Amino acid sequence: MTAVDDARALLASLTDAPPAGVWSAPGRANLIGEHTDYNEGFVLPFAIAQRTAAAVALRDDDLIRVRSTFSSTGVDVSLADLDARIAAGGLDWAGYPLGVAWALRAEAPDATPRGLDIAVASEVPVGAGLSSSAAIEGAVASALNDLWDAGRDKVALARVGRIAENDAVGAPTGIMDQMASMLGVADAATFLDCRTLATRPVALGFAEAGLQILVIDTLVEHAHSSGGYRERRASCEKGAAAFDVAALRDLGVDDLPRAAEILDDVTFRRVRHIVTENQRVLDTVAALDADGPRAIGDLLTASHVSMRDDFEISVPELDLAVETALSSGALGARMTGGGFGGAAIALLDSELVPAATEAVLAAFAAAGFRRPNIFTVTPSEGARRDVGGRPTGPGSVSGASPRLGRRVVGGGPGRRGGFRLGLHLLRRGGSPFRRVPPSTRRRSAAAPSARGPADAPRAGPGGPRSSVRPELRPAPRRRAVPARRPRARPG
């Protein structure tokens, strides 16, 4: 049984009305680029095969009823009362589909809202950092876009999902999750400029290279609406305000020595993570275009070190997952998602996946941690209509997903004088969003040197220094994550 099957069965138990259709949207894994989205930076997520489905039937009144296979709690609300129910809050999981209805009605005043029965089923693990919430939003937004004749494209529906998550649910997330879920392409990641919403698919080629992405779900649940996430975002806004810029996107590595002088230690480290993570995203895209997926391992590991030490969003279970995967032969590994729990990902040769899985299970058991859920993910297609008619027109999400080499959506790679990181990309091709044809790539098994979170110098006794010493960076053959600097566990 798939999520589509489960959603159809649930809808049949809810109403005798014939289904108008079933729509689905995937979860996502973020290859690299964590917490850069709400800082208007760069991200590189990919949609996964695990999906959330919404089966929908039309009603003759203005009532919206939402039910799910993963909660015994459902909500009924009339369109006339929707604004008040959203404002009152306390909707739990139903805040996501009802928030989408509320946001789409506001964003598409020319739509024709009507009552609906919505049955939701999901294969995306909740709380694992794989964006189960964006999958709900994408499936429901796609359904309502068709049934209410809203006529919005996938980027506009991603914005609707973000509004629902930010304003209806109260989670201060960026737009990465929704864009990845809506725009996913098989065997590719979505390279996204979160300021302009310019995108292009970037070929990953994992299967061709004999690689797989292993997800290690620690089962430590996180919540984006909790205090830790909000505190990190507030620190980023504080850092941007100190430089009088719109967002940390506008800072480059050469601004970090000045940041060390004018910011307190905690705010500086938060800023350093964002600035260097943006660079790592650009470096990863360049490596994939030029050399293929075996060239990105050290960048993934350096990203984890930065999130662990500078942004302080890892937890012991995530650190153990990363360390064990690396010692089991992973080319690179990192936590993925908002942090404070969730999942880690590891890039492994396919033949090493069974042994790495057993090693992680043994390490967790020895540490007294809960048994993790471990599985592989495949870069997959974005939101779509699975069952029912196929409406035509620019607003339908039922058409084919974008192919590799699709034109960029939105503007260029930056404003306010442009983003000063990734200049090697700009000099080579004019834009990091220019596609590099696969035939021009140089295939190489050698990964570039890791660029850790402290590639940027920090002023201190004896002058600038790196907080990740070269000898502690992952070795080419037996990889290990650099040791943690002593620091209190994030709250």
Could you report the per-residue pLDDT of 315-374, keeping only the tens digit for each? 999 999 999 999 999 999 999 988 899 899 999 999 999 999 999 999 999 999 999 999
State residue 432's pLDDT score: 63
What mean pLDDT is predicted for residues 249-260?
A: 97
Q: What is the mean pLDDT of residues 446-459?
A: 35
Collect all residues with Cβ–Cβ distance below 8 Å to 132 and sequence separation of at least 6.
27, 52, 122, 124, 125, 126
Q: Residue 255: is it exposed, middle or buried by C-beta count within 10 angstroms (0-12/13-18/19+)?
A: middle
Q: What is the C-alpha separation between 25 and 386, in angstroms, rounded?
A: 10
pLDDT at position 390: 52
* Nearest of 181, 260, 196, 271 to residue 234 by alpha carbon: 271
Section 43-49 average pLDDT: 97
pLDDT of 433? 58
- Token look-up 């959330």 returns 52
Given CA atoms 116, 122, 128, 129 in this order, what sign does their dihedral have? negative
**Torsion sign (Cα): 45, 174, 51, 362:** positive
- In CATH terms, the fold of domain 3-387+451-472 is Ribosomal Protein S5; domain 2 (3.30.230)
Domain layout of the chain by residue ranges = 3-387+451-472
Taking only the tens place, the pLDDT of each residue in 113-132 is 999 999 999 999 887 778 89
Of 50-54, 188-192, 479-483, which gets the smallest average pLDDT? 479-483
Which parts of 240-292 are beta strand (E)? none
- The arithmetic mean of pLDDT across residues 376-395, rounded, is 78
pLDDT tens profile 259-279: 999 999 999 999 999 999 999
Angle at the Cα of 396 (from 395 to 402), degrees rounded to 5?
95
Q: What is the distance between the alpha carbons of residues 41 and 277, in angstroms, rounded to a whole number?
A: 9
Catalytic residue numbers, as ranges: 177
Pairing between strand 21-32 and 42-58?
Answer: antiparallel
- The span from the CA of 187 to the CA of 192, in Å, is 16
Q: At what angle do helices 227-242 and 265-291 cross, to 10 degrees?
A: 90
Closest CA to 444 of 325, 326, 289: 289
